[in-house]
A and B are shown apart, each in its own frame.
Chain A
Amino acid sequence: GAVVSQHPSRVICKSGTSVKIECRSLDFQATTMFWYRQFPKQSLMLMATSNEGSKATYEQGVEKDKFLINHASLTLSTLTVTSAHPEDSSFYICSARGGQGGFSNEQFFGPGTRLTVL
């Protein structure tokens, strides 16, 4: 159990276009989903936290108008990279946390999406 999927796994787009990445919890309801960005050989950098039905909370330095996050249901969160540029090329990972209250519910990670902007 506790499987999180991401789609697409890889995407190549032209500069100036927008790209949407989906994150789904397949067998549990995710009250909270997290979006990370990871550069090669580096750690995961938290971009934002999204709770179902409310606005996402962005980390300092992350442009909320560039990285639009929607968490419309308990099983789906989307990250839209708007007007993508080559510097947005990266590996994007989502994670989902279920249950109610406390921190006993661990984060389950999706397999990641590699975005390349030409």
Chain B
Amino acid sequence: AQTVTQSQPEMSVQEAETVTLSCTYDTSESDYYLFWYKQPPSRQMILVIRQEAYKQQNATENRFSVNFQKAAKSFSLKISDSQLGDAAMYFCACGGYNQGGKLIFGQGTELSVKP
């Protein structure tokens, strides 16, 4: 079984500042992937960043980066130089290699960006 926990229901950040969203997970799979998805008010799910668990190097995508701590089963998302358009729900997700592509999502963190 897999579980994903996001302990911050809401976060706020000042425009141009940096914010970190937390995520912890638990899985019995030895091979798995981790994702951060963004869901803006339009409700379209958008992939922000992904991390293969076998890779030690933290993934980065422009202003978005992760801090992947495999032993601690932690996968936090850092957003640098926050922009107004970053305001959205952010979901952390985990999928096991042998789970047929299924993803388990965390509860979500609603991020607001203050101008």
A interface residues, Cβ below 8 angstroms from B = 32, 34, 38, 41-44, 46, 49, 51, 91, 93, 95, 97, 102-103, 105-107, 109, 111-112
Cross-chain pairs A/B with CB under 8 angstroms, 13 sampled: A34-B102, A42-B108, A44-B45, A44-B105, A46-B102, A46-B104, A93-B43, A93-B45, A103-B97, A103-B99, A109-B45, A109-B46, A112-B43
Tell whether A43 pairs with B91 under 8 Å between CB atoms, given A93-B45, A103-B96. yes
From A42, A49, A107, A112, contact of B44 by CB (8 A): A112
Tell whether A106 pairs with B47 under 8 Å between CB atoms, given A43-B106, A43-B108, A46-B102. yes
Tell whether A46 pairs with B101 under 8 Å between CB atoms, given A106-B50, A109-B44, A111-B42. no
In the bound complex, do residue B33 and residue A43 qualify as a contact, i.e. CB atoms below 8 Å apart? no
A43 CA / B39 CA spacing, docked (Å): 10
A107 CA / B104 CA spacing, docked (Å): 12
Tell whether A107 pairs with B103 under 8 Å between CB atoms, given A42-B108, A43-B108. yes
In order of increasing CB-CB distance, the 5 nearest A-B pairs are A109-B45, A97-B101, A43-B105, A103-B97, A44-B105
In the bound complex, do residue B91 and residue A44 qualify as a contact, i.e. CB atoms below 8 Å apart? yes
From A42, A49, A112, contact of B100 by CB (8 A): A49
In the bound complex, do residue B47 and residue A91 qualify as a contact, i.e. CB atoms below 8 Å apart? no
Number of residue pairs A-B, CB distance < 8 angstroms: 54
Q: Which of B32, B50, B103 has the most chain A CB within a 10 Å cutoff?
A: B103
- A32-B101, A41-B108, A97-B101 known; 15 other A-B pairs, CB under 8 Å? A34-B101, A41-B110, A42-B108, A43-B91, A43-B108, A44-B45, A49-B102, A93-B45, A95-B45, A103-B96, A103-B99, A103-B101, A105-B101, A106-B47, A106-B50
Sorting the interface of chain B by its residue count into under 10, 10 to 19, 20 to 34 or 35 or more gives: 20 to 34
Please, which residues of chain B bring their CB within 8 A of the CB of A106? 35, 47, 50
Please, which residues of chain B bring their CB within 8 A of the CB of A97? 101
Asked if B20 is at the interface (CB within 8 A of a chain A CB), the reply is: no
B6 to chain A, nearest CB (A): 9
A95 CA / B42 CA spacing, docked (Å): 16
In the bound complex, do residue B105 and residue A102 qualify as a contact, i.e. CB atoms below 8 Å apart? no
